[in-house]
Amino acid sequence: MQRVLMVCTGNTCRSVMAKGLMEKFAAEAGLELQIQSAGLAAFGGDPATEPTERALEPYGVAVTEHRSRRLQVPILEEADVIFVMTRVHREQLLAMFGSEYADRVHVLLEYAGALDSSAENPGQRQENSGRNSNNHTDMDIADPFGGSAAEYQRAVADIAAAVQRIVDAWRRAEE
């Protein structure tokens, strides 16, 4: 069973979205994954934000039981694959915990985009995400914390599209 870790800053928005969506999509695809989340600067025990809960409702994902936790070495050691939401998260994680994790840490949108670029239809990535692969800041999922409902919806839509592509690719690899 592959062990996946989703990481953001506070572990109350983006990584919560990514964990919940990957759990749902993996279950629908019949994939057995162990999925966790943590934050680089999380205060332990905080619930997911209300806007996060509302943004996930259309996907049928409930995160009312979630409690944040700060990223620590034992959590990293348990993960086969670590997805971060921004390039800065990747840099911070490696600076805090060491380069020995570098081969396991991936920016979520970059990883999903790389899957698309190796697929049969290389134009699919542009069509699905509307992102410009030459603009590296477009590989980051902006932090919606404290933002508008539209910012939360944009974050969850970007995460959902990337996670679905990853789950689909992993399912195909198992076939």
Task: Give 104-166 as a DSSP string.
Answer: TEEEHHHHHHHHHHTSS-TTHHHHHH---TT-GGGGS----TT--HHHHHHHHHHHHHHHHHH
User: Would you list the domain boundaries of the chain?
Assistant: 2-169
What are the pLDDT digits (tens) for 109-167? 999 999 877 654 433 333 334 343 334 468 999 999 999 999 999 999 999 999 999 99
Q: Crossing angle for the helix pair 108-117 and 149-174, nearest 10 degrees? A: 50
Both tokens of 130, joined, read: 């509307």
- pLDDT band per the 50, 70, 90 thresholds, residue 43: very high
Query: What per-residue confidence (pLDDT) applies to 137?
Result: 61
Instruction: Using CA atoms of 55, 58, 62, 63 in order, give the dihedral in degrees to the nearest 10.
Output: -20
| Non-local CB neighbours of 110 within 8 Å, separated by 6+ positions | 139
Both tokens of 18, joined, read: 């990514």
Other residues' Cβ atoms within 10 Å of the Cβ of residue 110: 18
* Beta bridge partner(s), residue 35: 4
In degrees and rounded to multiples of 5, residue 49 shows phi and psi of -65, 155
Query: What CA–CA distance (Å, rounded) separates 95 from 89?
Result: 10
**128 or 169: whose pLDDT is higher?**
169
Q: What is the mean pLDDT of residues 68-72?
A: 98
What is the percent of the chain where pLDDT is above 70?
A: 88
Query: What per-residue confidence (pLDDT) applies to 111?
Result: 97
* Beta bridge partner(s), residue 8: 39
What is the percent of the chain where pLDDT is above 90?
A: 86
Whether the CB-CB separation of 111 and 83 falls below 8 Å is answered with: yes
Query: What per-residue confidence (pLDDT) applies to 49?
Result: 98
CATH of domain 2-169: 3.40.50.2300
Whether the CB-CB separation of 115 and 165 falls below 8 Å is answered with: yes
Q: Crossing angle for the helix pair 14-29 and 149-174, nearest 10 degrees? A: 40
